[in-house]
Amino acid sequence: MKKRTLAKLIFWMTLQLVAACASAPISPNECVRSGRIWILASQKCLEPNEAEKLRTE
């Protein structure tokens, strides 16, 4: 296998792993512990600035 092909394969596998971790559900406790805000109504974990935007809309 060529080095370039191997590098592409590793890149795409890493990208898929990151995407899988990002889409994994997060518990309310983990969300708050990491300094973010858990929105109960939508069951989402948001950064403080994102939550502020929702509050002002």
The rounded distance, in Å, linking the Cα atoms of 29 and 32 is 5
| Cα dihedral 25→31→33→35 (10° resolution) | 140
pTM assigned to the model:
0.43
Question: Tens digit of pLDDT for each residue in 16-57?
Answer: 766 665 656 777 888 788 888 877 777 778 888 887 777 776
Domain assignment of residue 29, given as a range? 3-56
The rounded distance, in Å, linking the Cα atoms of 32 and 35 is 5
Instruction: Compute the C-alpha angle 53/18/46, nearest 5°.
Output: 15
Q: How many domains does the chain have?
A: 1
